[in-house]
Amino acid sequence: MAVKLMQGNEAIGWGAIAAGCRFYAGYPITPSTEVAEILSRELPKVGGKFIQMEDEIASMAAIIGASIGGLKSMTATSGPGISLMQENLGYAAMTEIPCVVVDVQRLGPSTGQPTAASQGDLMQARWGTHGDHPIIVLSPVSVRQAFDLTIQAFNLSEKFRTPVILLTDEIIGHMRERVELPDFKSVEVAERVVTEPPEKYIPFRNEPGDVPPLASFGLGYRYHITALFHDQMGFPTQRLDEIDPWLERFNHKLDRHLDEILMLEQDLQRGARTAIVTFGASARSARHALKTARARGDKVSMLTLLTVWPFPETAVEQLADQVERLIVPEMNLGQMAYEVERIAGRRKVVRVNRANGEMVTPQMILDAIEG
């Protein structure tokens, strides 16, 4: 594909196609609508299906059904929409059905300002669904990363049988950058592989391995799916000797594979007493502030989280041991800072917050470095 001036939301659409997405169901909502627009045009060209649903609840249900039918599936929304999707997100997590949900964050709460940027859905992405459940959340910093992390979202979703949220924001979604995409045929994609014949297939087996293979409906495999606690064949159960092994596997299947899931960018400087921990669009301001601070002689390190959930505790803890202060800039009132404080302690963390729809500026971060 030729070099293009490409929007972040456009890159997400192309990333989905490159990853093998062949079903999209969604409801238009600012600032994510361009994702639906491009897929409505491009999916039919590759044999895929696009459907505009009546609301976000139905959109989430539709991609769950399509995934079970064998299609890599995605939807895209923003804050109010992902709030409506939470019950079905929990269903997908409980039943271990892979799917990808794009959340292009906007200013809230409630309707807020639909065209203004925010990073206010960080906690909702992890804890919006009731009950304990694993989930993966990725957050791009650039347009090219929006493409790359969309592919990773599909791959991780298929590999670990879990919904994956691509948590971007209005700035990344609507920003345009020069992008050169790879040949889609060269992109590494994860596919479902089931080696057992239908008569021996166990859809929720707890041994061997952490994640049993998922067989698609319609290929001779028959099994039960329920959001209730279930046995290895998917049927409801209240037996603790069936529930407890499943709970152990289900809630720790990601923990055992963090080396495959956690993606970070580290720019460490020997002797630094200050470090910045950041993600998403705020990382762009942080990068500018870092260059300015170093140019005037300050020693500053920086950790950018591309995977925000599971939270990279070890990396943050190691960084905290090396410096005296951790500056956490974000377009909310401190949602990531809570996690950093949990690991490093409140006294080490300096919050740089903005929740009015405008970006955290490099100068705000520089002021914190000087403070």
> Could you tell me if 271 and 346 are in contact, meaning their C-beta atoms sit under 8 angstroms apart?
no
Residue 56, H or E segment = helix 56-68
Q: Distance (Å, rounded) from C-alpha 252 to C-alpha 273?
A: 35
Q: Distance (Å, rounded) from C-alpha 18 to C-alpha 3?
A: 16
The CA–CA distances, whole Å, from 274 to 3, 88, 313, 321, 366 equal 38, 41, 18, 11, 11
Please name each of the domains of the chain with its CATH number: 4-186 (3.40.50.970), 265-370 (3.40.50.920)
> Could you tell me if 138 and 308 are in contact, meaning their C-beta atoms sit under 8 angstroms apart?
yes
pLDDT in tens, the chain (371 residues): 678 999 999 999 999 999 999 999 999 999 999 999 999 999 999 999 999 999 999 999 999 999 999 999 999 999 999 999 999 999 999 999 999 999 999 999 999 999 999 999 999 999 999 999 999 999 999 999 999 999 999 999 999 999 999 999 999 999 999 999 999 999 999 999 999 999 999 999 997 778 999 999 888 898 999 999 999 999 999 999 999 999 999 999 999 999 999 999 999 999 999 999 999 999 999 999 999 999 999 999 999 999 999 999 999 999 999 999 999 999 999 999 999 999 999 999 999 999 999 999 999 999 999 98
Q: Distance (Å, rounded) from C-alpha 298 to C-alpha 269?
A: 10
According to DSSP, the residues that pair with 266 across neighbouring strands are 303
Its sign, for the CA torsion 158, 227, 210, 103, is positive
Smallest Cα–Cα separation from 310: which of 170, 125, 147? Answer: 125
Task: Say what the pTM is.
Answer: 0.96
Alpha helices in 71-218 (DSSP H): 79-95, 122-127, 143-160, 170-174
